[in-house]
Amino acid sequence: MSARRREFCPVVEPNAFAHNPERGIAGDAASDGEAMRTRAWQLLLSIATLVSCSAVAAADAVPVRPFADTLEQRLAACAICHGKEGEGTGTKQYYPRIAGKPSRYLYLQLVNFREGIRKYPQMVYLMRYMPDAYLQEIADYYSRLDPPYPSPLTQTLSTRERERGEALVTKGDSVHGIPACVACHGKALTGMLPAIPGLQGLQFDYIAAQLSAWKSNARTAKAPDCMREIAAKLTGPDIAVIAKWIASQPAVTGARPAPETRQKLPLSCGSQFD
């Protein structure tokens, strides 16, 4: 028997709770009632002791494995939503793929959640007391991962929607002052260093929700907030066709964010630089 069982599971004598013939079942009512109450409490105590000891014995039978205090182990909570390798989860993958995105982008998002600039409650709660150095470590870890992309879900697009979506993503709309998505997110939509995220592999629900959040000012970033400025010019149908078109494109595993360009971006983005 282990020390733990000896401590919590004392040996119970077989006759410890047996009927005492000296008292008898008869006798005066007060004494008899007291004896029955005492025996009832003793019986409950013995049952509780046996149940507790059974649980301790079962625990003793399971070998204790040392806890591996690794970053991967600590990020198991992130895997619940974002997948074991940051690949995104769910049939529609509302929880986005974070693997392979620029480290600087991931770090800034974690900081924004911690500071309440981004307001998704679960992320705000998880990040609340995380120091900068640890957030950077998490961002670096996920930026190095490169799990395979799933096949894109079929998106129902009319010819007109497909043409409009492709035009907005690849060429923009100069009439309404809307730059092309690829001008910042890269020709292959893999993102760009140091802090522009890739869009490939994201699903319709997530893309549409984020563009709508920018448009409604529910999501913000460091000024000048270029995405809010762009989204403000998009109509609801524009947001839908952009999201559908991007989500319908096959993604290329192994593609990395484009290197930082010296070419001036269409808009000044405060989140891109310190």
Q: Is residue 102 part of a domain?
A: yes
Q: What's the rounded Cα separation, in Å, for the pair 40 and 107?
A: 62
**Are 95 and 114 in the same domain?**
yes
pLDDT at 33: 56
What is the rounded CA–CA span in Å between residue 274 and residue 260? 14
Residue 6, token pair as written in the block: 């000896």
Looking at residue 67, its amino acid is F
Question: Phi and psi for 123 in degrees, rounded to 5?
Answer: -70, -40
Looking at residue 145, its pLDDT comes to 96
State whether 77 and 54 are in the same domain: no
pLDDT tens-digit map of 152-174:
878 889 999 999 999 999 999 99
Alpha-carbon distance 181 to 178, whole Å?
9
The pLDDT of residue 32: 58
Last residue of a domain, one of 34, 61, 88: 61
Residues 172 and 248 in one domain: yes
pLDDT higher than threshold 70 for residue 1: no
Q: Let me know whether 124 and 25 are in one domain.
A: no
With respect to residue 43, please indicate whether it lies within any of the assigned structural domains. Answer: yes
Residues 41 and 89 in one domain: no
61, 82, 102 - which closes a domain: 61
**pLDDT tens per residue across span 196-250:** 999 999 999 999 999 999 999 999 988 899 999 999 999 999 999 999 999 999 9
* pLDDT for the residue numbered 135: 97
Query: How many independent structural domains does the chain possess?
Result: 2
In a domain, residue 66? The reply is: no
Let me know whether 80 and 53 are in one domain.
Answer: no
User: Would you give the DSSP letter of residue 67?
Assistant: P
Q: What number of other Cβ atoms are within 10 A of residue 220's Cβ?
A: 16
- Same domain as 230, residue 186: yes
Q: Is the pLDDT of residue 9 over 50?
A: yes
Share of the chain above pLDDT 90, in %: 58
The answer on pLDDT for 49 being more than 90 is: no
| Rounded mean pLDDT, 47-64 | 61
Q: What is the CATH number of the domain that holds 112?
A: 1.10.760.10
- pLDDT, one tens digit per residue, over 110-168 is 999 999 999 999 999 999 999 999 999 999 999 999 999 988 878 889 999 999 999 99
On the question of a cis peptide bond just before residue 224, with omega within 30 degrees of 0, the verdict is yes
| Secondary structure element (H or E) that encloses residue 156, with its range | none
pLDDT of residue 153: 79
Other C-beta atoms closer than 10 Å to the C-beta of 36 total 12
Structural domain boundaries, residue 78: 71-272
Query: Do 45 and 81 sit in the same domain of this protein?
Result: no
Of 21, 43, 61, the position where a domain reaches its end is: 61
At 20, phi and psi to the nearest 5? -95, 110
Would you state the structure tokens that stand for residue 205, as one six-digit string? Answer: 């629900």
Tell me, yes or no, whether 157 and 30 share the same domain: no
pLDDT band at 24 (very low <50, low <70, confident <90, very high): very low
Query: Do 46 and 147 sit in the same domain of this protein?
Result: no
Mark whether 82 and 54 lie in a shared domain. no
| 77 and 57 share one domain | no
What is the pLDDT of the chain when averaged over all its residues? 83
| Residue 258, helix vs strand vs coil | strand
